Amino acid sequence: MMRITGQEARMGYTSTAKWFHWVTAGLMAVALPLGFVIPHVKDESKMAFYAIHESAGFTLFFVALARLAWRLRNPVPPNPAVPHGMRRVADGVHHALYAAIILQPLLGFFATNAFGFPMQGATAYMGLINLPKFMEANVPLAEWLLMFHRYVGWTIAALLVAHIGAAIHHQAIRKDGTLLRMV
């Protein structure tokens, strides 16, 4: 087991990669819990929950696309030595998170449009920018999209538990500096 300490750990990810990572984490810390709470909100404040959830989700979509474009041009630094199976699981979780983080806002955006509620007025993007309505209301399609939006939300939650759990495992058990590469 290779141990990375001090300067070696700090030489991990670039400040740009760290910025993308922590902005993504912050947006997910807003969008994901709100998405789980919204179905239980029964009063007039529900639209405010939607507005914040949708704006955070759409921003996450744009950040994820920029992050992916940046990532394709800037490979990650070398990883600490870990067993092959552990590396494959980590790569799988990362790829699944990228895919889900890009897919999830699209499903939500399409679902709200299919329900007949584009991001306009009370739920305009960032409270300011009305996004165009691009389809007529189609409730069966909207319900199908919402179902997948919920499944992907739970999948993201599970992937985050795995991702955070792995970071803690690397820091507390393996002591290989993995966590320090991203802080």
Q: Is 1 contained in some domain?
A: no
Extract the tokens encoding 90: 């980590």
68 assigned to some structural domain: yes
Classify residue 95: in a domain, yes or no.
yes
Cα 153 to Cα 33: distance, rounded to the nearest angstrom = 10
Q: Which is nearest to 156 in space by CA: 9, 70, 33, 39?
A: 33
Q: Which two tokens stand for residue 134?
A: 């691009």
Q: How many helices (H) and strands (E) does the chain have?
A: 5, 0
Of 34, 51, 28, residue with least CA distance to 112: 51
In a domain, 116, yes or no: yes
The predicted pLDDT at position 175 comes to 85
pLDDT at 10: 46
pLDDT 10s digit of each residue in the chain, 183 long?
A: 444 444 444 468 899 999 999 999 999 999 999 999 999 999 888 889 999 999 999 999 999 999 999 999 998 888 778 889 988 999 999 999 999 999 999 999 999 999 998 888 888 888 889 888 888 999 999 999 999 999 999 999 999 999 999 999 988 988 887 777 888
Number of structural domains in the chain: 1
Q: Which domain holds residue 143?
A: 6-182
Compute φ and ψ for 132, nearest 5 degrees.
Answer: -65, 145
The number of angstroms, rounded, from the C-alpha of 122 to the middle of its chain's C-alpha atoms is: 24
Residue pair 34/49 in contact by the 8 Å Cβ criterion: yes
Asked whether residue 172 is domain-assigned, the answer is yes
79 within a domain of the structure (yes/no) = yes
Q: Provide the CATH number for the domain around residue 31.
A: 1.20.950.20
